[in-house]
Structure 1
Amino acid sequence: MKTILTTGSNGLLGQKITEKVLQERRVNLIATAKGINRYPVKKGYVYEEIDILDVERVREVIEKYKPDALIHTAAMTNVDTCEVNRESCLQLNVSAVGTLLAICEEKNIRLIHLSTDFVFDGQNGPYREEDAVNPVSYYGKSKVLAEELIKNSKTNYVILRTILVYGISNDMSRSNIVLWAKGALQKASPINVVNDQWRMPTLAEDLAEACLLAVEKDVRGIYHISGKDYMSIADLVRKVAEYWKLDDSFINEVSSASLNQPAKRPAKTGFVLDKAIKDLGYNPHSFEEGLLILDQQMNKTN
């Protein structure tokens, strides 16, 4: 059985990978993150506390467990924070990747790296893996820089680009669009939602499955991983309202420009998933199926 090490295991995707491994026992898992372990189940895997910027600690843990593969989910993903705090963004999204790459090259460890649809400018979506990147935000630029580092290395790598990940996990430090919309509409709070950005939202469970498939399959290169449904952000939020029978009159559709956000967003992304379906056996849920899964998970915890 292969040993994998995950970074960012306290995040939504990190927790879903832990959950999948515990359910299916496909690999031995070393989960790592900053701070204490926030996943509720503590048995069946190993947890190590790591600050991804602490090079000596990162090396120490990797050398201790000698993983076959490393799934790198830790990153600074708040697009506006990245725009404003570029130095931190560069450290977390590029320098940390350089550290991991050097160790993976040296130890012959397979690297599964998470990237984003924000590497594209949003003028010609949905995108294929070989389409030219042209980021419009600093976050997107940092992820392109990381991709270039990886592609120019000798490491056996898979880059998984994804879009607008949603889901529910234990003790979440950050919300996501589905939970934000549901929470606001339940409180009857008016919300501004953009109607000029188009995406293919990704269920966190589907992305976790893709990460494990990338470890298992003998593939290399870039793969696009998202949900199968293409919709505007406004339509997405309306689907959330419809599913949970919430009043959609509190949804105020606005243009991206009216929000005056520090970072620009690509207008229309979305992915062509053919390569991931063919090479990895990737099979994502529909958005409605994803909402049903979230609903069932919420009912279990209530």
Structure 2
Amino acid sequence: MGSQKNLKFLIYGKTGMIGGMLGKLCEKQGIPFEYGKARLEDRSQLLSDMAGVNPTHVLNAAGATGTPNADWCEFNKLETIRSNVVGVLNLADVCEEKGVLLLHFGSGCIYDYDSEHPMGSGVGFTEQHRSNYDGSFYSKTKGMVEDLLGEYKNICVLRVKMPLISDLNHPRNIIKKLLGYEKVVNIPNSMAVLDELLPMAIEMAKRNCKGIWNFTNPGVISHNELLQLYKKYVDPALTWTNFTLEDQRKVLAAARCNNELDSSKLKREFPELLSVRESLIKYVFEPNTKNV
């Protein structure tokens, strides 16, 4: 493993949740880093970032997820393509040309439960499965770009799904989103507890890990279980209402996918990786416990 002194990270996605957290982790670990200035779709700007920073690794957490949610992508398809497809391929291509490892934060929202991976079966989608879901434009771009990224040698794709962090007020935190909804569907999903996972991403860059990785905690958790934990640790007065997937579809511009990702590859690399429920309690809920 290269020593800290020889590391220099170039990070994209400064204003995003993951990009912001990566910068803080680098500061904490004393890893030299700079945030990229380029728009990913502008190759000449990318080349000038690379020349100016001369990084050992590029970490990409930039991309269009849509604000306030993925429905934005349905109405802004060209911006979504530029950001999630053109930009990402451009960055991968420049990194390949320069021989620099790219750690790209992709998405696990490219599958939906099916007959071979039924809900509640414990059988998750592995890194080898091709995307089976393009019901939202966001998911469609993520699945397509991942297929193409597979051709690049110098890349590590980390598939994040439903990110959770200890900052319960962060607008991108799944918990914050759920609390803001009038009604929630109660379906088990794979989720990523970033307070535990992002230090592993930095370690993966140091280890020069490559290929595709399901970057979620092992197991699944349903929205109700998540809200029950919130009620237990944070707000005993919390109440919520469920509705069905059919009802949810009526209020969204695009359907959402639900799935379990198999994170055994990540678990082999980091045997200390906690299950989603244990990780949530340790990293998200216990630090936010109100003394009631």
TM-score w.r.t. the length of structure 2 is: 0.83
CA drift of 1:201 comes to 2.2
> What is the rounded CA distance, in whole Å, between the counterparts of 1:293 and 1:198 in structure 2?
20
Q: Which residue matches 1:44?
A: none
Q: Which residue matches 1:219?
A: 209
Residues 221 and 276, structure 2, Cα contact 8 Å, conserved in 1: no
Cα-to-partner distance string for 1:64-116 (whole Å, 9 max, x where unaligned): 11111111111112321122321111111000012102211211111111112
Q: Which residue matches 2:16?
A: 11
Alignment of 1:257-272 (within 5 A): 257-259=246-248, 260=250, 261-267=252-258, 269-272=259-262
CA drift of 1:281 comes to 5.1
**3-state secondary structure, aligned to 1:175:** coil
> What is the rounded CA distance, in whole Å, between the counterparts of 2:51 and 2:161 in structure 1?
32
> What is the rounded CA distance, in whole Å, between the counterparts of 1:18 and 1:282 in structure 2?
23
> What is the rounded CA distance, in whole Å, between the counterparts of 1:22 and 1:141 in structure 2?
35
**3-state secondary structure, aligned to 2:159:** strand
Alignment of 1:215-294 (within 5 A): 215-248=205-238, 250-259=239-248, 260=250, 261-267=252-258, 269-280=259-270, 283-284=273-274, 286-287=276-277, 289-294=279-284
Q: Give me the identity figure in percent.
A: 18
Alignment of 1:99-178 (within 5 A): 99-123=90-114, 124=117, 126-135=124-133, 136-153=135-152, 155-168=153-166, 174-178=171-175
Cα-to-partner distance string for 1:162-217 (whole Å, 9 max, x where unaligned): 21001156995x332212445x5xxxxx830111x321221122331232122122
> What is the rounded CA distance, in whole Å, between the counterparts of 1:290 and 1:97 in structure 2?
30
Change (3 A) 1:286 1:143: closer
CA RMSD of aligned residues (A): 2.6
**3-state secondary structure, aligned to 1:104:** helix
Q: Which runs of 4+ in 1 moved over 4 A?
A: 168-172, 295-299
> What is the rounded CA distance, in whole Å, between the counterparts of 2:145 and 2:43 in structure 1?
17
> What is the rounded CA distance, in whole Å, between the counterparts of 1:22 and 1:275 in structure 2?
28
Q: Which has the higher strand share?
A: 1
Q: Which residue matches 1:2?
A: 7
Query: Is 1:63 equivalent to 2:51 in the alignment?
Result: yes
Q: Which residue matches 2:199?
A: 209
CA drift of 1:252 comes to 0.5
Aligned with residue 73 of structure 1, among 45, 61, 66 = 61
> What is the rounded CA distance, in whole Å, between the counterparts of 1:15 and 1:58 in structure 2?
20
Deviates most, 144-153 or 163-172: 163-172
Q: Which amino acid aligns with 2:46?
A: V
TM-score w.r.t. the length of structure 1 is: 0.80
Cα-to-partner distance string for 1:4-37 (whole Å, 9 max, x where unaligned): 1111022111122122222222x321223xxxxx
Specify every segment of 5 or more residues in structure 1 that has no aligned partner in the other structure, as ranges. 33-48, 185-189
Specify every segment of 5 or more residues in structure 2 that has no aligned partner in the other structure, as ranges. 1-5, 118-122
Residues 4 and 70, structure 1, Cα contact 8 Å, conserved in 2: yes
Change (3 A) 1:251 1:286: same
**3-state secondary structure, aligned to 1:113:** strand
Residues 7 and 72, structure 1, Cα contact 8 Å, conserved in 2: yes
